[in-house]
């Protein structure tokens, strides 16, 4: 899609269902090419700057490797090593970096920072996770479900746990792709009402739906996909003890998943805490596809970079 060239990738909210499906198809195609050793290098001579304000294993490695495989080069930039860490403004950083780079990926806390970076940059900006969303992960996740189930429309995805960045991007993706999503979270840890409202509006256009409940069984009943994430995300570590109490009935385990479809898929963006948000038996069991998800970060992000930057 020529229309994706030069665009930012800040959230799935900005992409139409057709554009998301185009990226998913491209990701699957690029995966095939890579597996069969067929080179695809539309980004020869191009560079991606990667700003990290938080830790990362998957995002850093998959973007860096992906950029290399596309023929380009990626730079790892830790916030503390940049003048940004000493108070240089986002605007000046964005303007300066745009003079060298063909794209910028950023992982940060406040979503506002990504919006401001995109406003100041003249090259595409890609959201590599904020406190509000994680669209690259959701794109890779729906690629993974599509590969396994052959479709997305009409499937039911249950998310159990914290109303965090991950569930926000999953909700928006599910809504755009015509899926039925059910989210069970304890009181005080609901997803952001604005994202819920926006997702519901989008679901109404695609035949999807979004249910919010406290009842994990209601959420998980008949689900094709069961997803969970950590109870305390990066930046919320100090709340760990309080969250362990609040989430104690929200562990995805064998009892809970017995209400899902027999061939349900267990998913987690990783990193995971076995014995907290998910039992060992479930995350390491036969329904778990966590490492396929992790792998698809590479292919999905290659699709995004190829579409936006070539």
Active site residues: 107, 134, 137, 229, 269, 297
Q: In this structure, what token pair is assigned to residue 269?
A: 């963006």
User: Could you tell me which residues come within 8 angstroms of residue 235 by beta carbon, excluding any fewer than 6 positions away?
Assistant: 54, 109, 131
Rounded CA-CA distance 115/109 in Å is 12
297 is annotated as contributing to ligand binding = yes
User: 43, 70 in Cβ contact below 8 A?
Assistant: yes
258 is in an annotated binding site: no
Residues with Cβ within 8 Å of residue 36, at least 6 apart in sequence: none
Figure out which of the listed residues 58, 168, 176, 243 binds ligand CP, where binding follows CB under 6 A: 58
136 appears as a binding residue in the annotation: yes
List 51's β-bridge partners, or say none. 77, 106
**Contact letters (x/-) for ligand CP, 130-169, by CB under 6 A?**
-------x--------------------------------
Residue 269 interacts with ligand CP (CB under 6 A)? yes
Tell which one of 47, 108, 143, 165 touches ligand NVA (CB under 6 A): 165
Binding test (CB under 6 A) with ligand CP, winner from 65, 75, 212, 270: 270
- 224 contacts ligand NVA (rule: CB under 6 A): no
User: What is the pattern of x (binds ligand NVA, CB under 6 A) and - over residues 104-133?
Assistant: -------------------------x----
The region of 9-17, 53-61, 113-121, 196-204 touching ligand CP under the rule CB under 6 A is: 53-61
Among 47, 59, 144, 288, binds ligand CP (CB under 6 A): 59
**Taking a C-beta distance cutoff of 8 angstroms, is the pair 228, 287 a contact?**
no
Q: How far is the CB of 139 from ligand NVA (least distance, A)?
A: 14
Residue in 3, 16, 57, 222 binding ligand CP, rule: CB under 6 A: 57
246 touches 120 (CB < 8 A): no
Residues whose CB falls within 8 Å of the CB of residue 30, separated by 6 or more in sequence, listed in order: 40, 299, 302, 303, 306
228 binds ligand CP (CB under 6 A): no
| From 48, 220, 230, 260, residue interacting with ligand NVA (rule: CB under 6 A) | 230
Interaction pattern, residues 69-108, with ligand NVA; x per rule: CB under 6 A: ----------------------------------------
- Helices 135-149, 290-309: crossing angle, 10 deg rounding: 120
Residue environment code for 241-270, b if the CB has 16+ CB neighbours within 10 A, otherwise e: eebeebbeebbbeeebbebbbeebbbbbbb
The residue length of the chain stands at 310
Q: Which residue has the tokens 């998980």?
A: 220
Residues in contact with ligand CP by the rule CB under 6 A: 56-59, 129, 137, 269-270
Residues at the site binding ligand NVA, with contacts judged by CB under 6 A: 129, 164-166, 229-230, 233-234, 269
């Amino acid at each position: 899609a020529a229309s994706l060239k030069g665009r930012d990738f800040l959230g799935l909210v900005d992409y139409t269902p057709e554009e998301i499906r185009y990226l998913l198809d491209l990701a699957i195609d690029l995966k095939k090419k890579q597996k069969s050793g067929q080179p695809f290098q539309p980004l020869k001579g191009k560079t991606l700057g990667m700003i990290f304000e938080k830790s990362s294993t998957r995002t850093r490695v998959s973007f860096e490797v992906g950029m290399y495989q596309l023929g380009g080069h990626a730079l790892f930039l830790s916030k503390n090593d940049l003048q940004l860490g000493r108070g240089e403004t986002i605007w000046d950083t964005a303007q300066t970096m745009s003079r060298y780079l063909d794209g910028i990926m950023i992982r940060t806390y406040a979503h506002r920072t990504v919006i401001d970076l995109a406003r100041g940059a003249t090259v595409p900006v890609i959201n590599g996770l904020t406190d509000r969303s994680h669209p690259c992960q959701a794109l890779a996740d729906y690629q993974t479900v599509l590969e396994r189930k052959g479709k997305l429309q009409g499937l039911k995805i249950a998310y159990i746990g914290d109303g965090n960045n991950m569930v926000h991007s999953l909700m928006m993706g599910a809504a755009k792709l015509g899926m039925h999503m059910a989210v069970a979270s304890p009181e005080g840890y609901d997803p952001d009402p604005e994202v819920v409202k926006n997702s519901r509006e989008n679901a109404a256009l695609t035949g999807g739906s979004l249910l919010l409940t406290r009842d994990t069984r209601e959420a998980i009943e008949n689900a094709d996909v069961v997803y969970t994430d950590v109870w305390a995300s990066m930046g919320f570590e100090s709340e760990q003890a309080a969250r362990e109490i609040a989430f104690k009935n929200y562990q995805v385990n064998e009892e809970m998943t017995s209400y899902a479809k027999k061939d349900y898929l267990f998913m987690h963006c990783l990193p995971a805490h076995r014995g907290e948000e998910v039992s060992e038996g479930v995350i390491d069991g036969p329904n778990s596809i966590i490492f396929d998800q992790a792998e698809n970060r590479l292919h999905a992000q290659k699709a995004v970079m190829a579409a936006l930057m070539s």
